[in-house]
Amino acid sequence: MPASSSVVQELLAKLVAFDTTSAKSNLKLIEFVSTYLGGYGIAATLIPAPDGAKVNLFASIGPAGKGGIGLSGHSDCVPVEGQTWSSDPFALQLRDGQLYGRGTCDMKGFLACVLASVPLFTSRPLKEPVHIILSYDEEAGCTGVRPLIARLGHDLPRPRVIIVGEPTNMAVIDAHKRIDAYRTTVTGREAHSSLPRLGVNAISFAAELIEELDRIGAKLSTSETNDRFDPPASTVQVGTIEGGTAPNIVPKTCKFQWQVRSLPDADPKVAPERIKVFAEEKLRPRMRVVARTASIETLHQGSVPAFLAKPGSEAVALALALTHANATRAVSYATEAGLFEEAGCPTVICGPGDIEQAHAADEFVTTAQLDACTAFLAKLAELLS
């Protein structure tokens, strides 16, 4: 029997009540999960961040030894600041079969289903272990899980298969795009705004760079396409911009952050290389006529690898069997799946909820999706015993 939906909802209410926005600590949530698992005689290994403010959790149920199935999720969620919610985002609310709260969809709903299924796993004579993997800072570039992954196959068991329970409406996802994040800083020269020829306007030059990024994006949209993805090509977009101090000063500095989301087979360096050439050849000479110290610097802030399951992946085969599906899909958002796959663990993404509700105001997951997930986990327990 799958875990009851009332137990899942009780657990989800507790998980949602912990404000685990990525910038904050997740220690209280992890403590709750450790204590819960301890109640079933399951010991958890905690892998803390260097500053100790956040922690990953790894716990195994069933026979010790190699292999097993990893059920993986992240404990953090995105901020609610600036969003208009109809109810308290940290108090779970059920309205018309939809459970509202920050993280319900992405991805505490999955975690609640996994925790609610623990008694099912412990009551069965499992032939191989189930591992619960819970990370931090997924929403901050998938950085938290990396030290945990480094220990798989060393002092932590390496799962035979990893299921990442990100919201897919329980569809089986075998590929996603790559993310590269950049910050560009334009340094010009300040001047009185009545004498703009004496200054180098950093905002104006940044605007030219951004226009060029849009042109690069337009070229990428037709140069290499894969219809499995929506949109079907690599994309470029600027996310933040800041610059200037006052309307009557030619601005000296402008910074903007941008991202490239690349198809798994595409070269992720095309956009940064083209923007570098544009900056060096088209903009810098014009800037330096006025100020020799003027510069354009682009820093690579980090990346999340693409995910592409190998042909015949046992993770994909398992998820297809558990969901009775016969086809896989690809998505454009990134997850920790690429990191697991890179580390040699066959991985698949399959979890409750719709990505359209993730990160949004009034985020929700339907009770039907949670029921589908607990049925999936019950079937897994059956299959492993």
Q: Residue 112, SS3?
A: helix
Residue 167 beta carbon to Zn ion: minimum distance, rounded to whole angstroms: 7
Residue 123 beta carbon to Zn ion: minimum distance, rounded to whole angstroms: 30
Q: Which stretch binds Zn ion (CB under 5 A): 46-54, 166-174, 229-237, 301-309?
A: 166-174
| Cβ density class 340-371: b for 16+ within 10 Å, e for less | bbebebbbbbbbbbebebbbeebbbbbbebbb
Please report where in the chains the tokens 């607990």 appear, as a residue: 374
Rounded CA-CA distance 219/199 in Å is: 33
Rounded CA-CA distance 238/275 in Å is: 13
Site string (232-271) toward Zn ion, x via CB under 5 A: ----------------------------------------
Q: Which stretch binds Zn ion (CB under 5 A): 52-60, 164-172, 229-237, 298-306?
A: 164-172
Q: Does 57 bind Zn ion (CB under 5 A)?
A: no
Give catalytic status of residue 76 as yes or no.
Answer: yes
Rounded CA-CA distance 382/280 in Å is: 61
Give how many residues touch Zn ion by CB under 5 A: 3
Q: Which stretch binds Zn ion (CB under 5 A): 9-17, 49-57, 59-67, 98-106?
A: 98-106
Site string (282-301) toward Zn ion, x via CB under 5 A: --------------------
Rounded CA-CA distance 318/377 in Å is: 12
Residue 78 beta carbon to Zn ion: minimum distance, rounded to whole angstroms: 9
Choose which of 9, 61, 93, 106 interacts with Zn ion (CB under 5 A).
Answer: 106
Considering the candidates 19, 31, 51, 76, report the single residue annotated as catalytic: 76
Rounded CA-CA distance 79/19 in Å is: 9
* Packed helices 314-323 and 367-384: angle between N→C axes, nearest 10 degrees: 120
Residue 166 beta carbon to Zn ion: minimum distance, rounded to whole angstroms: 5
Q: Does 107 bind Zn ion (CB under 5 A)?
A: yes
Measured from the Cβ of residue 230, the count of other Cβ atoms closer than 10 Å reads 9
DSSP string for residues in 291-334: -TT-EEEEEEEEEE--EEPPTT-HHHHHHHHHHT----EEESS-
Identify the burial level of 266 via C-beta atoms within 10 angstroms of its C-beta, where 0-12 means exposed, 13-18 middle and 19 or more buried: buried
Give catalytic status of residue 214 as yes or no.
Answer: no
Considering the candidates 106, 137, 138, 190, report the single residue annotated as catalytic: 138
Residue 365 beta carbon to Zn ion: minimum distance, rounded to whole angstroms: 12
Residue 109 beta carbon to Zn ion: minimum distance, rounded to whole angstroms: 11
Longest dimension (CA), the chain: 80
Q: Does 173 bind Zn ion (CB under 5 A)?
A: no
Judged by beta carbon, residue 22 or residue 184, the one nearer Zn ion is 22
Rounded CA-CA distance 85/121 in Å is: 36
Judged by beta carbon, residue 73 or residue 188, the one nearer Zn ion is 73
Judged by beta carbon, residue 22 or residue 303, the one nearer Zn ion is 22
Specify whether the CB–CB gap between 36 and 111 falls below 8 A: no
Residue 94 beta carbon to Zn ion: minimum distance, rounded to whole angstroms: 22
Judged by beta carbon, residue 107 or residue 250, the one nearer Zn ion is 107
Q: Which stretch binds Zn ion (CB under 5 A): 97-105, 158-166, 227-235, 296-304?
A: 158-166
In one-letter notation, the amino acid at residue 74 is: H
Judged by beta carbon, residue 176 or residue 189, the one nearer Zn ion is 176
* Secondary structure of 166-233 as H, E, C letters: CCCCCCCEEEECEEEEEEEEEECECEECCCHHHCECHHHHHHHHHHHHHHHHHHHHHHCECCCCCCCE
Judged by beta carbon, residue 166 or residue 363, the one nearer Zn ion is 166
Residues that bind Zn ion (CB under 5 A): 106-107, 166
Active site residues: 76, 138
